[in-house]
Amino acid sequence: MVSEMKNGSGRRFAHALLVLIVFFGLATVCYGLQQLPVIETVGVGEPAGLSTGGITIVQLSDLHVTGRADVWRLRYALRLIERTDPDLIVLTGDFVRGSAAGIDLALPVLRTLEAPLGVYAVLGNHDLWSDREAVARGLAEAGIDLLVNRGLAIEQGEARFYLAGLDDAWSGRPDLDAATAGNTGHLPVVVLLHEPDLGQEILRSGRAWLLLSGHSHGGQVRLPGIGAIILPEHGREYDQGLYGVGEGWLYVNRGLGTAAIPVRLGCRPEVTVLEVYPPQVLKVRAP
């Protein structure tokens, strides 16, 4: 009798242990999947006077490279980008976190970025808090054109617009007048600015058609029916995705990396693919 009781207890213990192992195994797999970047494809209608012929813009943001895991995630994102065949690649700040050493870790990967219309970037608050000069040097070594309160006309084939990059709005000195001074042809303006909430005034003023940003990380942790639990300053009103602001568009990329706490849940890292269509095409594609 005692032997049977021991055997029964042993079987129950083994069963419970197996259930725990399976549970934690599945939880680990699910958590790991939350850290893998995904492609978010977004369609926006081109403004009057812009003829793109179907331009595709890929956006990366908030890499926050501090170690090998971040570099691996960046490599994974680049494999996703290779599937999209972009015309233009933009990076909207926060390449590092805590130390500018992360830019050196990311260099071998960043050097592989290429697109027919170029690869451009702006800085974020963490870049300025770490070492903006070191980050800028790293981007230059990678062949990425850093736009700090400056811009350029992009006119190739059917693509005709002005790309303007602003200094970080939180810790720098953004100057839209300086950034768009070269827009003598009055082309539609696409602005790169790290913090989304500080970009809404630009769109409401009608001085830009499209503004691309990051910063918020989408909150990193999002709960069903609630949304983001914590959002950073200057990234609380617009925290992820596409917004119509004034007569223009604001897109907030969730980023690749993390800040404060190295956790994502219900908020996967993203590679944004923005496809610009004539307005009538966009209406047909809309659900």
Pick the CATH number of 38-285 from 3.20.20.70, 3.60.21.10, 3.40.1160.10, 3.30.1240.10: 3.60.21.10
The whole-angstrom separation of Cα 232 and Cα 15 is 45
Q: Return the H-helix or E-strand segment holding 150.
A: strand 150-156
Q: What is the pTM of this model?
A: 0.86
Give residue for tokens 């494999």: 79
Domain boundaries, the chain: 1-34, 38-285
Low-confidence ranges of the chain (pLDDT < 50): 13, 16-34, 281-287
User: What is each CA distance from 268 to 63, 125, 204, 233, in whole angstroms?
Assistant: 13, 22, 30, 21
Looking at residue 155, its pLDDT comes to 86
What torsion, rounded to 10 degrees, do the Cα atoms 71, 133, 191, 285 define?
-10
The whole-angstrom separation of Cα 270 and Cα 165 is 21
Looking at residue 242, its pLDDT comes to 97
* 252 close to 214: Cβ distance less than 8 angstroms: yes
As a residue count, the chain comes to 287
Looking at residue 27, its pLDDT comes to 37
SS3 call for 123:
coil
Handedness of CA 183, 241, 71, 194 (dihedral sign): positive
Structure tokens at 98: 């805590």
Looking at residue 47, its pLDDT comes to 80
The whole-angstrom separation of Cα 218 and Cα 263 is 12
Where does residue 85 rank: exposed (0-12), middle (13-18), buried (19+ CB within 10 A)?
A: exposed
Looking at residue 4, its pLDDT comes to 56
Structure tokens at 6: 């021991």
* 194 close to 64: Cβ distance less than 8 angstroms: no
The whole-angstrom separation of Cα 59 and Cα 67 is 22
* 65 close to 94: Cβ distance less than 8 angstroms: no
Per residue in 122-157, pLDDT (tens digit) is: 999 999 999 999 999 999 999 999 999 999 999 888
Closest to 219 measured CA to CA, from 30, 106, 41, 62? 62
- With a CB cutoff of 8 Å and minimum separation 6, the contacts of 209 are 46, 47, 50, 161, 188, 189, 190, 247, 248, 249
Q: Return the H-helix or E-strand segment holding 188.
A: none
Looking at residue 34, its pLDDT comes to 47
Closest to 118 measured CA to CA, from 146, 149, 79? 146
What torsion, rounded to 10 degrees, do the Cα atoms 279, 283, 286, 287 define?
170
Looking at residue 3, its pLDDT comes to 58
Cα radius of gyration rounded to whole Å, the chain: 22
Looking at residue 279, its pLDDT comes to 62
Looking at residue 277, its pLDDT comes to 81
* 207 close to 105: Cβ distance less than 8 angstroms: no
